[in-house]
Chain A
Amino acid sequence: KQEVTQIPAALSVPEGENLVLNCSFTDSAIYNLQWFRQDPGKGLTSLLLIQSSQREQTSGRLNASLDKSSGRSTLYIAASQPGDSATYLCAVYGGATNKLIFGTGTLLAVQP
């Protein structure tokens, strides 16, 4: 059974700092991995999707990497801003089951 773990559960950093969020998964037979952002009381916004054949994806100040063999992904946020404060979720897609399996998220607070 696929399990997705995100560490740390919560993180507080000063504005301007570069930071890394971690995601690990137990079954490396995935089709893709997706990073989401969730603001309080809101739905999930897709940030980046990395296909299993890819090593990384970039969007603006965000860079996500994928190492399937070790079951790990990282989300790198450069020059963090207070507007980046949110919960960040990673999810892996195994294809055969049509399911996204989610981690429980990292709550990020960027202090001005």
Chain B
Amino acid sequence: NAGVTQTPKFRVLKTGQSMTLLCAQDMNHEYMYWYRQDPGMGLRLIHYSVGEGTTAKGEVPDGYNVSRLKKQNFLLGLESAAPSQTSVYFCASRAMSQGAHNQPQHFGDGTRLSIL
């Protein structure tokens, strides 16, 4: 019963390096999301996807790219890491809405990323 799995759990990067965070869900959910959580700021949406092959910008998309080549995976890329991107990154997924009722989002345990 894995749910939403994020890898890696921790990572330290140097400024300018690149990396990809992987999110995998086994619930056959249509929607997937990437958030960052910073002290005093709450969770903010970076990018999201409403289905395989689709992506859209969230509230704070600059400096990040995403891809959803397979329904179960949602990748978040940092092309040139900056200290301002030090944060905890969370992936979430949810099922498609049923009529007027929306479904809850399910979260992974997060990736703690430090940029030196």
Name the CB-closest residue of B to A48: B104
Report yes or no: B109 in contact with A42, Cβ–Cβ below 8 A.
yes
Report yes or no: B42 in contact with A34, Cβ–Cβ below 8 A.
no
Binary contact track B75-110/A, C-beta < 8 Å → 1, others 0: 000000000000000101000000011111111111
Q: For A102, what are the chain B residues with a Cβ–Cβ distance below 8 Å?
A: 42-44
Instruction: Give complex CA distance A4, B42 in Å.
Output: 10
- Count of A-B contacts judged by CB separation below 8 Å: 58
Report yes or no: A98 in contact with B56, Cβ–Cβ below 8 A.
yes
Q: For B92, what are the chain A residues with a Cβ–Cβ distance below 8 Å?
A: 44
Minimum Cβ distance to chain A for residue B35 (Å): 8
User: Interface size of A by Cβ–Cβ distance < 8 Å?
Assistant: 25
Minimum Cβ distance to chain B for residue A32 (Å): 5
* Residue B34 interfacial (CB < 8 Å): no
Interface of A is mostly: strand
Name the CB-closest residue of B to A51: B101
Report yes or no: B105 in contact with A43, Cβ–Cβ below 8 A.
no
Report yes or no: B100 in contact with A51, Cβ–Cβ below 8 A.
yes
Name A20-51 residues within 8 Å CB distance of B: 31-32, 34, 36, 41-46, 49, 51
Binary contact track B24-65/A, C-beta < 8 Å → 1, others 0: 000000010100000011111100101000001011000000
Report yes or no: B45 in contact with A43, Cβ–Cβ below 8 A.
no
Q: For B59, what are the chain A residues with a Cβ–Cβ distance below 8 Å?
A: 99
Report yes or no: B40 in contact with A104, Cβ–Cβ below 8 A.
yes
Report yes or no: A34 in contact with B105, Cβ–Cβ below 8 A.
yes
| Additional 9 contacts, C-beta under 8 A, given A4-B42, A43-B108, A51-B100 | A32-B102, A42-B109, A42-B110, A43-B109, A44-B92, A46-B104, A46-B105, A91-B43, A98-B48
